[in-house]
Chain A
Amino acid sequence: MATARPAWMEKPKPAVTLLKGVVIGLIVLVMLYPFWYVIVASLSTAQGLRQHTGFLLAPAEFTLDAYRAVLSGDIVTQSLLVSVFVTVVGTLLAVVLTVLTAYGLTRTRDVPGSRALLYLILFTMLFTAGIIPNYLLIKGVGLLDSLGALILPGAISAFNLVVVRNFFMELPGELLDSARVDGAGEWRILSQIVVPLSKSIIAVIALFYGVSYWNEFFNALLYLQTPQKWPVQLVLNQYVVQASPLEQISFGSRMDSQTAPRTIQMAIVIVATLPILVVYPFLQKYFTKGVLTGAIKG
């Protein structure tokens, strides 16, 4: 046996093992097959897909045409660039703001007023104003139809802030105190002691922010009118979910008035998902750790 097993955990009956195996196999299949179906369908020809309507295990007449069409510089390509920009800039900004604010809130006894601020922030987790007042604010500050409307409103999540603050509070206080005695300023303590010790939690919140910026849909629907500024999720909604005819949303270079072929729809789904699938395995190991620190002590 590869893993150490407590002596009291005897091997179960073969029938039970088989049953569990079948159930778990089914669960894995239900979780993964839809993705697989969309991947192989996006690699099929439109003709092939029309003939093979049922289950697909491999592409029906393999071709990269759908991806060529999607990445040829039209609205989907443009929207991918927008999404990458929003995700990179947003995540950087959000991580910096969250770390600074979280650290600022760690010494409520020494920093007059910071406890009050903490309560103000916690209150926002409990009660929010709703869609319309947020829309009016974005309009009022002139962010309507700008990418700032996608980046700024999500720049600090109170939940992530609490997770990071809790992590900072667990760091050995003697270490920070002795640095203070040695004359280190708060900036040096934060940048040279606290942040290096907190890499794992910073990776977790960077992932959370990155995923939420990449997946941002409703803010884009609400605040952006110009199709050139749309992120990929919004394009996906128009092309695929609502199946709008192409001419409505392309920049005028195409004149088709038909819904995008299914292969193209699938290719858009894949390019909108791929970045998540790519970063997922690398950061997966940090997930539970970060979530639990937040959930249990938050």
Chain B
Amino acid sequence: MSQATSANPPRQVRSDRVHQRPQRRLSARILSARWMYVFLLPGFVFFVVFRYVPLLGTIIAWQDYSPFLGITGSPFVAWDNFVALLSDPEVATATRNTLVLSLLQLVFAFPAPIALSLLLNSLLSEGVKRSVQAIVYLPHFISWVVVISVWQQVFGGAGMFTGVVESLGGDPINLMSDPQLFPAMVTAQVIWKEIGWGTIIFFAAISMIPTEQYESAVVDGAGPWRRMWHITLPGIVPVIVLLLILRLGTVLTVGFEQLLLQQPAVGADAAQVLDTFSYFRGIVGGDWGLATAAGLVKGAIGTALVIAANKFCKRFAGHGAF
């Protein structure tokens, strides 16, 4: 936009306009907002380069991609990679593991913060409540590498737990490398890391419940337990339902780093999920096209589930998350 195109911004306000503001010529509006474009430029470039260019790169899902030939030189193979996914036994294992871990987390890790926030809410002392909150939020900010390291030091083959077991006369035990125990350990790790952080939203919901409800319940003779059961819990049900539906939308995503870190110890049969499959098949195994196809299918189903979940929320709870 040069100076010439916007020399005289027309300023007249037409009376028949229903817009709140007078509409000026586009070029004039652009010129007057030029600083805003300067602010937006780096962000725009960032999202194009780091988020949209990779989307174009998913084209290799339809190629027999080879790093030497590149995207422009690799031959197209139509839907071969997607068809190969269907008959790949590793994909079946990864899908099964993903769904099992997801289900376990839904049943155990999802309700845990609800229970904890109800418990903490029932405390009378604000000071105790806040200190406990500060402690339980902490693991959320610790990396998965540290969390797994700490768990190994406690439950691993040389760890504290086996030390206790041995001193009681038991056999050495490594809870961190047992494929049978792995789903339970993964779920426990998720609860340990995220239970505190998960309470934040429930606390906010609890604080929205009008105090009068509690007051009149007391007048009617309801004790603390009945107040929790008949006021607090129903008061946060809409939030619970909303989060549950959204959680269902991400059913194909289970902690990627968490599983990647532990896969060498427990083996791929127990610890391969859809995301780690993409990584091991593509980056490690060099089967680029197939791995990209796997990521793409997972991403597409995931997006469809999230959108469907949100639609469902809007219909069911009257509002979605976006």
Would you give 13 A-B contacts (Cβ < 8 Å), ordered by A?
Answer: A6-B211, A31-B135, A103-B36, A110-B32, A117-B47, A136-B60, A215-B144, A237-B145, A269-B153, A272-B145, A272-B146, A276-B141, A276-B142
Cα A292 to Cα B197 with chains together (Å): 12
The answer to whether A128 and B299 have CB atoms under 8 Å apart is: yes
Cα A9 to Cα B139 with chains together (Å): 32
Q: Which of A100, A134, A287, A288 contacts B42 (CB 8 A)?
A: A100
A254-286: CB near B (< 8 Å → 1, else 0) gives: 000000001001101100110011001100100
The answer to whether A117 and B154 have CB atoms under 8 Å apart is: no
Which A residues are CB-close (under 8 A) to B35?
Answer: 185-187
Cα A34 to Cα B55 with chains together (Å): 41
The answer to whether A55 and B160 have CB atoms under 8 Å apart is: yes
- Flag whether B37 is at the interface (Cβ < 8 A): yes
B141-176: CB near A (< 8 Å → 1, else 0) gives: 111111011111110001010111011000000000
Given A3-B126, A101-B40, A237-B261, A35 contacting B150 (CB threshold 8 A): yes
The answer to whether B150 and A55 have CB atoms under 8 Å apart is: no
Given A20-B123, A55-B164, A130 contacting B58 (CB threshold 8 A): yes
Query: Binding site of B, secondary structure by majority: helix, strand, loop or mixed?
Result: helix
Shortest beta-carbon distance from A221 to chain B in Å? 8
Which A residues are CB-close (under 8 A) to B160?
Answer: 37, 53-56
The answer to whether A236 and B149 have CB atoms under 8 Å apart is: yes
Q: Across the two chains, which residue of chain A brings its CB closest to B144?
A: A217
19 additional A-B pairs beyond A104-B40, A236-B145, A272-B149, beta carbons within 8 Å, are: A8-B214, A53-B162, A53-B166, A54-B167, A100-B39, A100-B40, A107-B33, A110-B36, A112-B26, A130-B295, A152-B50, A153-B50, A156-B46, A156-B47, A186-B36, A233-B143, A241-B152, A266-B153, A268-B149
Which A residues are CB-close (under 8 A) to B275?
Answer: 131
Q: How large is the interface on A (under 10, 10 to 19, 20 to 34, 35 or more residues)?
A: 35 or more
- Flag whether A67 is at the interface (Cβ < 8 A): no
- Flag whether B209 is at the interface (Cβ < 8 A): no
B219-260: CB near A (< 8 Å → 1, else 0) gives: 000001000000000000000000000000000000011001
- Flag whether A211 is at the interface (Cβ < 8 A): yes
- Flag whether B184 is at the interface (Cβ < 8 A): no
Given A104-B36, A136-B57, A217 contacting B21 (CB threshold 8 A): no
Which A residues are CB-close (under 8 A) to B278?
Answer: 130-132
Instruction: Scan residues 105-152 of chain A and give those whose CB is less than 8 A from a CB of chain B.
Output: 105, 107, 109-112, 114, 117, 120-122, 124, 126-137, 141, 152
Shortest beta-carbon distance from A163 to chain B in Å? 13
Closest 3 CB pairs of A and B: A130-B295, A53-B163, A101-B43
The answer to whether B143 and A54 have CB atoms under 8 Å apart is: no
Cα A297 to Cα B71 with chains together (Å): 40
Cα A280 to Cα B57 with chains together (Å): 39
The answer to whether B295 and A129 have CB atoms under 8 Å apart is: yes
Which A residues are CB-close (under 8 A) to B135?
Answer: 28, 31-32
Which B residues are CB-close (under 8 A) to A288?
Answer: 200, 203-204
Cα A284 to Cα B152 with chains together (Å): 28
- Flag whether A23 is at the interface (Cβ < 8 A): yes
Given A132-B291, A133-B54, A237-B145, A27 contacting B116 (CB threshold 8 A): yes
The answer to whether A104 and B39 have CB atoms under 8 Å apart is: yes
Q: Which of B50, B56, B200, B261 contacts A287 (CB 8 A)?
A: B200
Which B residues are CB-close (under 8 A) to A218?
Answer: 256-257, 260
Which B residues are CB-close (under 8 A) to A129?
Answer: 51, 54-55, 57-58, 295-296, 299
The answer to whether B141 and A211 have CB atoms under 8 Å apart is: yes
The answer to whether A124 and B51 have CB atoms under 8 Å apart is: yes
Where the two chains meet, the residues of B that have a C-beta atom closer than 8 Å to any C-beta of A are 21, 26, 29-30, 32-33, 35-37, 39-40, 42-44, 46-47, 49-58, 60, 71, 116, 119-120, 122-128, 132, 134-139, 141-146, 148-154, 158, 160, 162-164, 166-167, 192, 196, 200-201, 203-204, 211, 214-215, 218, 224, 256-257, 260-262, 264, 275, 278-279, 282-283, 288, 291-292, 295-296, 298-300, 303, 306-307, 321-322
Cα A295 to Cα B322 with chains together (Å): 10
The answer to whether B119 and A110 have CB atoms under 8 Å apart is: no
Which A residues are CB-close (under 8 A) to B123?
Answer: 20, 24
Cα A56 to Cα B166 with chains together (Å): 15
- Flag whether A30 is at the interface (Cβ < 8 A): yes
Cα A101 to Cα B164 with chains together (Å): 54
Cα A277 to Cα B214 with chains together (Å): 38
Q: Which of A54, A120, A128, A241 contacts B149 (CB 8 A)?
A: A241
Which A residues are CB-close (under 8 A) to B56?
Answer: 133
- Flag whether A5 is at the interface (Cβ < 8 A): yes
Cα A134 to Cα B288 with chains together (Å): 12
Shortest beta-carbon distance from A117 to chain B in Å? 6
Shortest beta-carbon distance from B28 to chain A in Å? 10
Cα A234 to Cα B260 with chains together (Å): 13
Cα A130 to Cα B273 with chains together (Å): 14
Given A133-B55, A241-B148, A155 contacting B46 (CB threshold 8 A): yes
Q: Across the two chains, which residue of chain A brings its CB closest to B51?
A: A124
Which B residues are CB-close (under 8 A) to A16?
Answer: 224
Shortest beta-carbon distance from A278 to chain B in Å? 11
Given A24-B132, A27-B132, A128 contacting B21 (CB threshold 8 A): no
The answer to whether B150 and A5 have CB atoms under 8 Å apart is: no
